[in-house]
Structure 1
């Protein structure tokens, strides 16, 4: 390949290792800056003076999986973070006293999952936390002191999927699903119970939800698709019921909001068709946003703000470089560069990501993203190579999620190895209106898969992809799509990589986590009803497990043993079925992982295996396994001999 001679091989460690710094935040009072950064190879929270980030020191002590989600308490002297064990998603909530260094487990109950319900500047020492310690299916609401860990139950959940609260720690709304697959919001009544207030039809449930309340508490902001296709931002006066549309985008759902930290009104909204766009609703930030657009290339995200709104932390996302973080002073209107998330990316031959709209066979527009190897773009059309190349179709999970433009390590990795990377927002993907989501109802393995095949056909017809060298790869739903690709359309793909993908939709729905039970109608109405005979027959038809004899091409499977969503049994059973029929498969199992690979050592080891696998199937470049398996928990129950060099590394 041309790129082998002209483009340096980017080490996997640069692409898949820990970021230098991530999740940058400013303390509510603006005195301190925080971020995630490695300590001995494990992500922890660092805190330093806002005017001297280089003086930051680690304040947490995680030595295993790394911390991924954290935030400031309104005390300005505490950090809050969550952590699970081995990927089991039984999150515990911790507080860190920055003065003493003491770490308090605020939810020290085994086998339960904590969810932060509400933090408020009105109660800086306390939190509302949802915890399923009484009934696994339901989260009760507790008031917890972050200094002492003392907790008091303030509401016993009698069947709700969740609650909406305000800064006064008042539970304003309860939500539950209805038998028709819709949702219902209820308000507290005079008798101490809950009375129905608003019903959302099934077709609107994934595009309609409350955002928050105004400062007075008499108006609720909502993302609302009722009576329209794309979700608009609306304000709803709670007493009169008057609803006003504040912002909308005919092509895409409003999906992001900038809310004033104390006044609580929405100042700007974002929507993404192919690229993120901001609409300004509050003229007081018009000049701020205009200035920030000139500071650095890329799509803007305001990711943290002080309570007085004087300081913003702003991130700039590009497709061919690291995320750049700035500290923006609104009074002086000056943005100061802080750092990037991956300095090692600077100066590397990274490829551009192109947004394209691919027509599906029934006329739907599939917003997609294609990345070509550097040096292969045609001068007259940079979205096409001079000659067809091997391609990897990357299928996102969810399926109620979406792909977006920006830096993507998988796209860069594949492009650097000589492949075209293609990501497709197939029907059921979010952000593109309710009609697009609902077009995927009961279409797992059906029209959702047709969209992927249509994208492959487009890529070959456009001269982008070599039809004999196309792989399919993805995680969760993307893993399922991979198995569908190799069983339902067995001659389309040269190989497949399934990461934590379900093989049997019936057993998947029968084994969902207990705390998903309040939302079971979501799956029943949109995927299929595993509780009825007809539904069971339908789901069986959608399940690749029953078609393993059709598999003709190599398959690599990655699975976390502690996955609470797609249990290990989903991978075990298809591996066993393939073995029973004498069909080769490589199975990479990680005993300390859940739904995906959180530990960098595990992520790196799987990417190394996947790279060797793709090179063998598609003929691209690859970096030898080297020591990229070191420190991982990788086990390979079967098929190690199918990956060049893997058996030798494991035996060594």
Structure 2
């Protein structure tokens, strides 16, 4: 069965490991395999037979980038010709039109995931002055993500496509003529439908959508209405996959009701009646796949992803073919990948944990198996390491299934370990060839790939145990895997690293932040650092599953969930990190924005902790361009070897070395840009305010002159909130500034300012600041849009800062409002030391806290370590031409 790299959220991310303290090669250990053999472009991949059987297509580099090639089915590969010439990004997915006239593929720009669908005539001559035929954009629209729903047998020149041009969150349904690109609107999607299902005759029959409470509704498409015919709640799965050949029933995968494992049922949309077809005969895992004949519509086989794939073949003639292939390739996984329309010839791929795949054409009539090529043919398979399964108990006793790959030629004792959590988190790792596991094992590392709770495939109970548990028991499932291997003596506890992308990147940051003594190195790739801003910035086309995120992760609109999400965000525990860290990011990532990586880099940099940072300007959620991959891998390999002692490959091609320099970012240059402003959340206080009164003697010095004043502060509890009032007696008269502050979160909710003719009244929410500014009887409105809450602003701001979890190296960032410009700015806070400070009220052992603004202003606070009183304040005021405010506590 064809293997994938447990992407979901890090599809396309190519990561690896290299380093600067290579150990002597023990006797029997395989030679160092060139990283290019693992991660460079495969010579040939992705083969398909045209439906008429005349052609065989495949992916192969052309002018340095993976493109689509075609040859006659019986010709040698040397006779093939390229039919696409995309030089910016590799082409990953393509398919043939049903009449074999066109090859269709999807492509985005720079990783932005706005995919368009292109068609190319494989028989056409190259365009004038070009090496390949013209590729026509069938869904041509900027900033649009096209989804292919159906390519019906009834009309081979038609495909049904979803296009979110009218509304970025929802895809309208179009009929697109492949030969001309003519587009006809079939249905404007004002019903928030996320997917459509057509029957075998090409008729639109069903839709599916997610409701506001997270439930999934399956809708029957009637002439004038959508009728709900099936529903499962947010903690269950139900999805139509195709219609039965009788056109009256649909195949549905579901675990609705008192059922744990996903099974296959037949569903009648007219009566809503379901009939069980099959669930796992061993009652261990969900249905993994159902294989159908495209010719007859018959169910050929079912598959279950257990420790390895299990097949249950249904159709007798297909079973005879399957048994024949399986017997010929014992111990290998078999995958029937592509076939001719008459299903007499198939592309068959056989693979294993130590074999990325061999490809054959199988003739069912003659049972002739004709070799085509080996995937990564030059990779020395005899030097690769077996992948084994293991199970271990987590912190609460839950049994965690996992895969372990041990380096060859080394005793399994006191090995360096790399933990590689999968992305998603709603995905899973599987048995088979895994590029990263094999690469790391060749470098001398044991590799642990745990299927922690929230992983899919093990039933809804296992999946739902991860709800709300990011960074908590989900992280325990990873941590206890390390403990298990250490207790067995397999792993050296002082040489444990963690690396992953997307959720795996989050797990990496959570690992080094929440269990800082466990890991000696971490590589976080497209990693969320702040769960609030992650949820706030999900792509518009994920709107249909926003509620699912809110249920499974937490709803930022609910106080308890928000507080937990803040706690689970590694950014808010960055002061605990003391593990060497590398951060990798794609500039155009629409899922995990660059700001997520910028923030954690800034947090570590500002406390003086070293961090390495790579940002590719032409990538999105993972690296697709080979030169970017290779640069990242080379850097990561050396980083891990430096900190964990594994082997590494010193040399790299000139283009890779050049690219590595181009994508390496000096942490000193990283700033909270406009994109990062949106990612700045509200820090979590370590303690609540308390009733207090204080008086400060203050002065403002500017141009050799000084103006003295007295400042009185009072905090009192009122109507379940804190009311913080600050009164200043100045030569220009008294000024009163008052704020209503939410208990616990210490977020400002209201502010009123009265000074002479000025009268200001403001209301704060997470989305906007509204109110009025009045001067000399004239009033103007305030309406400032927000992308998150304002924090530590106005009166009481210094007291609020004093109640953060101040400690050596602590850093955070938050929003403030500039009243004069009515713009939001991000402040950066850092604890820069601890020192004794003497003021009229006495001598205090204090944390020295610096708060910097984008305008260059710096406020320094001395906060008593025991009482959290602000003993002294010093602030530069750019709005007053660099004037300096000093205030000292009197009582």
Q: Same fold (TM over 0.5)?
A: yes
Is the 1:321–1:346 Cα contact (8 Å) retained in structure 2?
no
Aligned to 2:638: 612
Aligned to 1:123: 155
Distance in 2, Cα, partners of 1:75 & 1:616? 55
- Residue 472 to residue 209, structure 1, CA distance change in 2 (3 Å): same
Distance in 1, Cα, partners of 2:116 & 2:159? 14
Residues 477-506 of structure 1, C-alpha deviations (whole Å, 9 max, x = no match): 000000000111100111110000100000
SS of the equivalent of 1:570 reads: helix
Aligned to 1:507: 533
- Residue 211 to residue 258, structure 1, CA distance change in 2 (3 Å): same
Pick aligned residue for 2:496 from 470, 486, 490:
470
Aligned to 1:648: none
Pick aligned residue for 1:70 from 94, 103, 112:
94
The structure with the greater share of residues assigned to helix is 1
TM (normalized to structure 1)?
0.94
1:447-486 alignment, distance < 5 Å? 447-486=473-512
Aligned to 2:170: 138
Aligned to 1:231: 262
User: Alpha-carbon deviation of 1:4?
Assistant: 4.7
Pick aligned residue for 1:182 from 211, 215, 233:
215
Residues 325-356 of structure 1, C-alpha deviations (whole Å, 9 max, x = no match): 11111111222111111101145511111122
Distance in 1, Cα, partners of 2:519 & 2:51? 51
Pick aligned residue for 1:561 from 573, 576, 587:
587
Pick aligned residue for 1:253 from 286, 289, 299:
286
Distance in 2, Cα, partners of 1:634 & 1:295? 49
Is the 2:354–2:381 Cα contact (8 Å) retained in structure 1?
no
Q: Alpha carbon RMSD of aligned pairs, Å?
A: 1.7
Distance in 2, Cα, partners of 1:2 & 1:415? 15
Distance in 1, Cα, partners of 2:373 & 2:449? 29
Aligned to 1:59: 83
User: Alpha-carbon deviation of 1:578?
Assistant: 1.5
2:53 aligned with 1:30, yes or no?
yes
SS of the equivalent of 1:486 reads: helix
Deviating more after overlay: 449-458 vs 181-190: 181-190
- Residue 537 to residue 351, structure 1, CA distance change in 2 (3 Å): same
Aligned to 1:91: 115
Distance in 2, Cα, partners of 1:598 & 1:135? 28
Aligned to 2:103: 79
Aligned to 1:157: 189
Distance in 2, Cα, partners of 1:640 & 1:254? 50
Pick aligned residue for 1:402 from 428, 446, 452:
428
Pick aligned residue for 1:278 from 308, 311, 323:
311
Is the 1:71–1:81 Cα contact (8 Å) retained in structure 2?
yes
Distance in 2, Cα, partners of 1:121 & 1:81? 18
SS of the equivalent of 1:344 reads: coil
Gap regions ≥5 residues in structure 1: 378-384, 642-652
User: Alpha-carbon deviation of 1:81?
Assistant: 0.2
The structure with the greater share of residues assigned to strand is 2
- Residue 269 to residue 632, structure 1, CA distance change in 2 (3 Å): farther
SS of the equivalent of 2:235 reads: helix
2:468 aligned with 1:442, yes or no?
yes
- Residue 479 to residue 301, structure 1, CA distance change in 2 (3 Å): same
2:360 aligned with 1:336, yes or no?
no
User: Alpha-carbon deviation of 1:170?
Assistant: 2.3
Aligned to 1:217: 247
Distance in 2, Cα, partners of 1:161 & 1:237? 21
User: Alpha-carbon deviation of 1:590?
Assistant: 0.5
Is the 2:632–2:660 Cα contact (8 Å) retained in structure 1?
no
Aligned to 1:635: 663
2:233 aligned with 1:168, yes or no?
no
1:372-387 alignment, distance < 5 Å? 372-376=406-410, 385=412, 387=413
Residues 62-100 of structure 1, C-alpha deviations (whole Å, 9 max, x = no match): 112110010111120210000001000000100001222
Distance in 2, Cα, partners of 1:162 & 1:175? 5
- Residue 632 to residue 34, structure 1, CA distance change in 2 (3 Å): farther
Is the 1:602–1:634 Cα contact (8 Å) retained in structure 2?
no
User: Alpha-carbon deviation of 1:53?
Assistant: 4.5
Is the 2:26–2:410 Cα contact (8 Å) retained in structure 1?
no
- Residue 472 to residue 347, structure 1, CA distance change in 2 (3 Å): closer
- Residue 631 to residue 51, structure 1, CA distance change in 2 (3 Å): farther
SS of the equivalent of 1:529 reads: coil
Distance in 2, Cα, partners of 1:184 & 1:507? 29
SS of the equivalent of 2:535 reads: helix
Aligned to 1:649: none
Aligned to 1:47: 70
Distance in 1, Cα, partners of 2:204 & 2:596? 39
Distance in 2, Cα, partners of 1:347 & 1:252? 30
SS of the equivalent of 1:164 reads: strand
Is the 1:477–1:501 Cα contact (8 Å) retained in structure 2?
yes
Distance in 2, Cα, partners of 1:632 & 1:310? 48
Distance in 2, Cα, partners of 1:347 & 1:597? 25
User: Alpha-carbon deviation of 1:273?
Assistant: 1.4
Pick aligned residue for 1:525 from 551, 572, 597:
551
Deviant stretches of 4+, over 6 Å: none
Distance in 2, Cα, partners of 1:168 & 1:83? 28
Question: For the pair shown, which has the larger CA radius of gyration, 1 or 2?
Answer: 2
- Residue 332 to residue 575, structure 1, CA distance change in 2 (3 Å): same
Is the 2:119–2:138 Cα contact (8 Å) retained in structure 1?
yes
Distance in 2, Cα, partners of 1:106 & 1:232? 37
Distance in 1, Cα, partners of 2:233 & 2:209? 12
SS of the equivalent of 2:444 reads: coil
Distance in 2, Cα, partners of 1:213 & 1:347? 42
SS of the equivalent of 1:204 reads: coil
Distance in 1, Cα, partners of 2:406 & 2:668? 30
Residues 547-566 of structure 1, C-alpha deviations (whole Å, 9 max, x = no match): 11101110000000000000
Distance in 1, Cα, partners of 2:652 & 2:371? 36
Residues 161-207 of structure 1, C-alpha deviations (whole Å, 9 max, x = no match): 222223433221121112332211111234x12121111122213xx
User: Alpha-carbon deviation of 1:42?
Assistant: 0.8
| Number of residues of Structure 1 aligned to a counterpart in Structure 2 | 630
Is the 2:524–2:584 Cα contact (8 Å) retained in structure 1?
yes
User: Alpha-carbon deviation of 1:634?
Assistant: 4.0
Distance in 2, Cα, partners of 1:473 & 1:367? 19
Aligned to 2:351: 317
Is the 1:214–1:263 Cα contact (8 Å) retained in structure 2?
no
Distance in 1, Cα, partners of 2:72 & 2:501? 39
Residues 45-65 of structure 1, C-alpha deviations (whole Å, 9 max, x = no match): 111112225232111111121
- Residue 477 to residue 41, structure 1, CA distance change in 2 (3 Å): same
User: Alpha-carbon deviation of 1:160?
Assistant: 1.7
